[in-house]
Structure 1
């Protein structure tokens, strides 16, 4: 099986966000693939909705054998296992969440479906916290 290089962004602002990110990373390592590098955790205010809780965010680069759609399904499974019941793609809006995992890059692939867009343009170009995290893990 071929290995793909994937960049993920994780965020949490409910419960103990830093612990939630640690749990998510362990699940990603065991169910999706080896984490090659990760950024420092960044604390940031909620983006695109109002919240009383700040987010903890982290960027990861990993290797996986899974296709983009299979990867998305595995990510959604992890989010559900951790207690996330409302997906912004379904609710059409953002809310506080125990965990959020987004696929930002998948090799050099450009992919678009109703459920998934790669690259994730908002993270690459519009969200300051995302750009900061992604810049810190760029491989040269």
Structure 2
């Protein structure tokens, strides 16, 4: 099987945010993905919605055998397992969340569907916290 290099961004603003990120990392690895690099933790204010809960974020690079859609399904399953109730795509807006895992890049693939856009344009070009986290990854 071929290994695909993928950049992920993870964020949490409910509960013990750092522990949530650590659990998500463990679950990503348990899904058969190899973790190559993990950034430092970065705290940031919520973006595109109002909340008094600060986010804790990380970026990571993994190698995976999964296709983009299968990887997305795996990541969404992790979010649900960890207690995420509101998916921003389904709800049409952002809300507080236990965990959020986004695929930012998948090799050099350009892919757009109703559920997934690769590369993730907002993280690459619009969100300041993302640019800080990704500066050594892209």
TM-score under structure 2 length normalisation: 0.98
User: Aligned residues, how many?
Assistant: 138
The alignment partner of 1:37 has SS state of strand
1:105 aligned residue? 105
Q: Residue 103 of structure 1: CA displacement?
A: 0.2
Cα distance in 2, alignment partners of residues 136 and 108 from structure 1: 16
RMSD in angstroms over aligned alpha carbons?
0.7
Aligned residues of 1:112 and 1:118 also touching (Cα < 8 A): yes
Aligned residues of 1:38 and 1:137 also touching (Cα < 8 A): no
Q: Deviations over 1:28-80 (max 9, x none)?
A: 01114011001100000000001011000000000000000000000000000
The alignment partner of 2:108 has SS state of coil
2:117 aligned residue? 117
Structure 1 gaps, min length 5: none
1:45 aligned residue? 45
Cα distance in 2, alignment partners of residues 32 and 119 from structure 1: 22
Distance 1:79 1:32, change over 3 A: farther
